[in-house]
Chain A
Amino acid sequence: MNRYLAPIITIILVNILFYLIFFRKKPISFQNWMKLFLFPFLLVIVIPYHHVERILLNIWAGFLPVLSINTFLVLIELILLSVSMYFLIKITPKRGVELFPYFLLIGLGLGCGRFFRNVILVWYHPLNSFFGYGQFSNFITGFYIVQEVLQLLIVIVCSGYMGLGFIRFMKGQFSKGIMSIIFSFLMLEIDALVRVLFQYVPFFAFFSAVYVISILPLLFILGGLFLWMSYRRQEKKELEIKKENSKLVSGSSGS
């Protein structure tokens, strides 16, 4: 049991922080939290990613084929996010930007599922003390945990874009919705592209040295910042529409 403690503690801490940041003012019931968190969390653990990846890597080799395999895995993750969001929309009466933190919560579930799966898979491999020095595997140690936590944050941002896309679709803003979904795809795809570049293109090998300390944080900060701006813009727009609607209602009732 002890060996599962570190990833479980990390997941609990991330959940507490997430609650304090997004649900402190408008609390959510524990039951709803678990429902929304566990659905994507379990989905991502149940789907045998690494087996699919291994089967495909046994068939194809080289930069472009491996990038295509990674893109395929990114698309599967986006489908999982969409399924979870569809599940959320079905079970909640909330609509519009009110749903935004719930979409982020779905991203948290999926990101934590991915974190749990990767950490258990790599960390508890019987030869783990070798990881970090091998050309075949990821870093293990605190560095690996930081990498996985940053990837978790990127999944949350990606989920935010996807959620914003859904909100915009529901409001009939199709072109903006498509743009948000493209951004959602790009968040995961840029990460996948960088990893394939430093593994398969010698010219970009230096990326591996700066991946955790600069590329992932930069992707998260820029993606997060732009997501926040898009969310505020959407919130403002919905507020303006609400005001206009209420003016119209009061105008018509006055006449």
Chain B
Amino acid sequence: MVLGEMIYEIETMNEEMIYRSFFITNQDEEPQRDMELIVNRENLTPVLSRKWFEISEGEIILETRYSKDKAEVILISPYGKKEASLKVTEPIYDMEQIFFLPNLKNTGNFQNWQFSVLVPASGMTWLGRISKIDEDEKSVKLKCTLAGEILYLKYEKSFPYRLLSLEAPNRGYDLILKEEIPNK
């Protein structure tokens, strides 16, 4: 069953890359904002991340501004504004960034890797791990674990190393690149 569509936009600037994602559910026709992420092109460290959540009372915006040794988290909800400053040690990545990391990180050689990830919503830092579990001529399948959850990520082996599918068995959904969905 198709639940909806995710749309990703990637904009390259001089020193930064901007990622924007939107989603369309079966019920809603207008794409809704999901997140916006600005990362440094050179070292892939996050500069800013924004996430939008819809609740019955309105909208929640979670914004995180990264600097060298801290992350400023600003939460705007119908109940008011909250700010928190979290100490971080470099290198740290944003929660929203992890799907883009393996393909940006290398040149087709998807290596086993572990890294720190900040989950702005809880203010907690977790250790993410990525390991290669399978590959064929065209694609490579990685297993990503974060905060007790497992994700399976499948990437193209050749440039631009697109994410072909994301399986989230603990959440009960898969994200599949539209042109990869087999015709019925």
Contacts and interface: CB of A to CB of B under 8 A. Distances in A.
B170 to A, nearest CB: 5
Contact of A134 (B122, B145, B173): B122
A116 B118 CA distance: 26
Contacts, number: 76
Nearest to B73: A127
A66 B14 CA distance: 43
B79 interface: yes
A61 B122 contact: no
B170 A127 contact: no
Interface of B: 53, 55, 60, 62, 73, 75, 77, 79-80, 82-84, 119, 121-124, 126-127, 145-150, 169-173
A45 B93 CA distance: 31
A133 B127 contact: no
B148 A137 contact: no
B170 A200 contact: yes
Contact of B148 (A66, A128, A129): A66
Nearest to A122: B122
B138 to A, nearest CB: 27
Nearest to A196: B148
Interface string A112-142: 0000000000000111111001111100000
Given A65-B148, A66-B148, A202-B171, A137 B121 contact: yes
Q: A58, A133, A200: which has the most chain B beta carbons within 10 Å?
A: A58
A23 interface: no
A54 interface: yes
A63 interface: yes
Q: How large is the interface on A (under 10, 10 to 19, 20 to 34, 35 or more residues)?
A: 20 to 34
A60 B75 CA distance: 30
B121 A61 contact: no
Contact of A199 (B77, B123, B170, B173): B170
Contact of B121 (A69, A127, A199, A201): A127
Given A57-B148, A58-B126, A61-B148, A133 B84 contact: no
Interface string A211-252: 000000000000000000000000000000000000000000
Contacts of B119: 136
Contacts of A200: 148-149, 170
Given A127-B122, A130-B121, A61 B149 contact: yes
B55 to A, nearest CB: 5
A62 B171 CA distance: 11
Contacts of B82: 126-130
Given A62-B170, A133-B60, A127 B126 contact: no
